[in-house]
Structure 1
């Protein structure tokens, strides 16, 4: 799809970095907690919790103060629209999410939403108008930590997942997504299936160390790698730790450990290219020091920028899981797919627009593939899309209270976002 950017005089706008920072810090107060591990203040504002509802209401209030027309769809996705001089033209969209993991910082997702809002505020301050409307999106349940499917709101809006599928998802307490959405007051009336915008741009912290190691403030994101999430449940047999001979045990905990070691060996083998594998959740039952576990539950996260090599890695893991009961007769293995996305390349034209905006502002950039999933990958299915990465400190740590991007870097990234949106909406 070609992106038309007709010649137009678009005066440069100045992003109010102090106002942007104040918005980030004020939103960070909602869901704040004292993190004992780091000694810092973390944020726990998981999707469809009371804290998420409070954060949504704060952001909507800011949108309305900026003169935006706010609508909420059936998935709770929030849209703030600034009209253009040609209201019939398809809009340019920018955004991200404000839901967090349980141990979050202040920037993941929030910078994309509040940065887009700051672009609107700054356009208002300068008295500037665009030909195309600009829409800010705040997507529901991007993180996937509560209901088990990441990029959920944008995936339903873009048509990859159905509304019924989303509504029937449950959290660990058995609470249903659709019921929780209604409980916090964000089951909107707007149809969830999104009409394709003219383009979509998402600003986001990198969540990795590349930009900091290269001494660069900003990166242009070329795409998102393939992601596979599975939950593996291992059924063994409980037994006394002291009286049961080793050869008579069916140890679910041992089986979990074997999987953890195997997926690391897959990575180390080099057979699957740039494969990354993580077991981020481990639970055993009954969880007692003197009892052989009768059950173990783990998650396996595989990521790869190459779809073919990802398929080979998944086949390797599937075969290993199928053969694992042979090591302990009586062991039973269950798997459940939590999420699966293919590698998503972003629009060359949108990447070029971002790079040109950064260059005009004096920022050297590199192009890099995202290792994390983002709402932008869902939007790429229906419209030309790309992302701006903004440098994080402390090797880009994220999903952690130490997550941090400087006020100067945030301002630089959102200034590039502003210039890009001006060009696309001219």
Structure 2
């Protein structure tokens, strides 16, 4: 970061957000697309998404912010600083949800940013650098792919034209739906400057809750490797075929599936190994399986360790193939590099949590977030708070009001540290 950052003036160290106001805003936004089970279904670029964007835009305007929309529908809500030539200190997330989404995933990050601004307004605090709150289009990817679309276009991970051409199951395109709801803006994605970026989010996992910690100081996002694996045997009648003469693809496949989990255990502490999809052919009760196709999901905290896990599982597959005589094919499907966050932003979050007296721990994100793409462009960091039982992408997703408030207080102090206080 170019700008030098001074410690917060003593009179601001006791500054806190209005947690009740933040909670009320979250509950108000959650009414748009509310489901009978207490969750939210507000798919991207639907009429409900438009209502959510309109509401957040109105709140921003009421808080004195200027609203800018770019060509992929990302929104930037700006609070001017004393020196507006400095790149803004940005926070944000998304307000689209899963079909069976909760009230907090994404929404919390946007409204926490808005509450930071409201708090600064309440106390008449001017920052040196501008502060902005961003929402990113189609983070969830539940209606259109790719996921993290708005931030991905912004970061030039893929083109605007590629995003525009994406269609939902009804054949409706991103471009047509953006035009229909009135959220194609004039600004070219990526032309908006960012000095640094923070994202506040529920953990979407059980680690903070399990460790009884209030704040997760996120150091990075796990790298992801996805594969399709095919084991080929031979179909045969389950009755007449002796056990010693079988070429049972499923028995070999299940051994490799177990090794996917074992591979994660061999690469601690952040190793993850999952088989989530299995297809058995011919899938008949009295036929020995002749072909099994299954997914492999490997994750870890660095690309080097992901490479090691790749070599590990391929070595095991080769050994099982040699022992069984059955061909095993592992084909990469997609890969996302591990993304470490910037030490300055990590330290800003950690320092704020300590100064505010919140229990905290270093954490990694096993899920992707818009902060992944922002970290390619500017120093970035994330703040996690616990969610009940680690459950997310589910209508029962829940978080405690005191944790919601705590995460926003950390965001407030971390942003003030990076933005600086005019005259401070």
User: Quick check: TM above 0.5?
Assistant: yes
Give the 5 Å matches for 1:116-195. Answer: 116-195=113-192
Aligned residue number for residue 363 of structure 1: 358
Q: Mean alpha-carbon deviation: is it higher for 92-101 or for 305-314? A: 305-314
Q: Mean alpha-carbon deviation: is it higher for 319-328 or for 396-405? A: 319-328
Kindly state the Cα deviation for residue 6 of structure 1 after the two structures are TM-superposed.
Answer: 3.6
Aligned residue number for residue 16 of structure 2: 14
In the alignment, the residues of structure 2 paired with residue 266 and residue 385 of structure 1 have an alpha-carbon distance, to the nearest angstrom, of: 30
Kindly state the Cα deviation for residue 282 of structure 1 after the two structures are TM-superposed.
Answer: 6.2
Q: Which of the two has higher C-alpha Rg?
A: 2
Alignment partner for residue 86 of structure 1, among 83, 87, 90? Answer: 83
Alignment partner for residue 308 of structure 1, among 304, 314, 337? Answer: 304
1:215-248 CA distance string (max 9 Å, x none): 2211211111112345x59899xx9x9999999x
1:393 lines up with 2:350 in the alignment: no
1:389-414 CA distance string (max 9 Å, x none): 112222x2211222211111111110
Kindly state the Cα deviation for residue 323 of structure 1 after the two structures are TM-superposed.
Answer: 12
In the alignment, the residues of structure 2 paired with residue 5 and residue 178 of structure 1 have an alpha-carbon distance, to the nearest angstrom, of: 41
Kindly state the Cα deviation for residue 138 of structure 1 after the two structures are TM-superposed.
Answer: 0.5
Q: Mean alpha-carbon deviation: is it higher for 259-268 or for 406-415? A: 259-268
Aligned residue number for residue 424 of structure 1: 418
Kindly state the Cα deviation for residue 148 of structure 1 after the two structures are TM-superposed.
Answer: 3.4
SS in 2 for 1:33: coil
In the alignment, the residues of structure 1 paired with residue 197 and residue 152 of structure 2 have an alpha-carbon distance, to the nearest angstrom, of: 14
In the alignment, the residues of structure 2 paired with residue 89 and residue 407 of structure 1 have an alpha-carbon distance, to the nearest angstrom, of: 34
Q: Where does structure 2 lack aligned partners over 5 or more consecutive residues?
A: none
TM-score scaled by length of structure 2: 0.82
In the alignment, the residues of structure 2 paired with residue 173 and residue 257 of structure 1 have an alpha-carbon distance, to the nearest angstrom, of: 37
In the alignment, the residues of structure 1 paired with residue 185 and residue 242 of structure 2 have an alpha-carbon distance, to the nearest angstrom, of: 57
For the 8 Å contact 1:196–1:383, the answer to whether it is kept is: no
In the alignment, the residues of structure 1 paired with residue 174 and residue 289 of structure 2 have an alpha-carbon distance, to the nearest angstrom, of: 31
Kindly state the Cα deviation for residue 7 of structure 1 after the two structures are TM-superposed.
Answer: 5.7
In the alignment, the residues of structure 2 paired with residue 221 and residue 100 of structure 1 have an alpha-carbon distance, to the nearest angstrom, of: 22
In the alignment, the residues of structure 2 paired with residue 349 and residue 175 of structure 1 have an alpha-carbon distance, to the nearest angstrom, of: 42
Figure out how many residues of one structure are paired with residues of the other and give that number: 416
1:171-202 CA distance string (max 9 Å, x none): 34444333333333222221101444221111
Aligned residue number for residue 37 of structure 1: none
Alignment partner for residue 58 of structure 1, among 55, 59, 66? Answer: 55
Kindly state the Cα deviation for residue 116 of structure 1 after the two structures are TM-superposed.
Answer: 0.4
Aligned residue number for residue 31 of structure 1: 33
In the alignment, the residues of structure 2 paired with residue 252 and residue 58 of structure 1 have an alpha-carbon distance, to the nearest angstrom, of: 54
In the alignment, the residues of structure 1 paired with residue 57 and residue 51 of structure 2 have an alpha-carbon distance, to the nearest angstrom, of: 10
Aligned residue number for residue 70 of structure 2: 73
Alignment partner for residue 275 of structure 1, among 254, 271, 275? Answer: 271
In the alignment, the residues of structure 2 paired with residue 163 and residue 416 of structure 1 have an alpha-carbon distance, to the nearest angstrom, of: 34
Kindly state the Cα deviation for residue 83 of structure 1 after the two structures are TM-superposed.
Answer: 0.8
Q: RMSD of aligned C-alpha atoms?
A: 3.7
Shift in alpha-carbon separation, 1:17–1:8, aligned structure 2, 3 A: closer
Shift in alpha-carbon separation, 1:45–1:302, aligned structure 2, 3 A: farther
Q: Where does structure 1 lack aligned partners over 5 or more consecutive residues?
A: 35-39
Aligned residue number for residue 48 of structure 1: 45
TM-score scaled by length of structure 1: 0.82
SS in 2 for 1:42: coil
In the alignment, the residues of structure 2 paired with residue 387 and residue 193 of structure 1 have an alpha-carbon distance, to the nearest angstrom, of: 20
For the 8 Å contact 2:371–2:380, the answer to whether it is kept is: yes
Q: Mean alpha-carbon deviation: is it higher for 306-315 or for 252-261? A: 252-261
Shift in alpha-carbon separation, 1:116–1:293, aligned structure 2, 3 A: farther
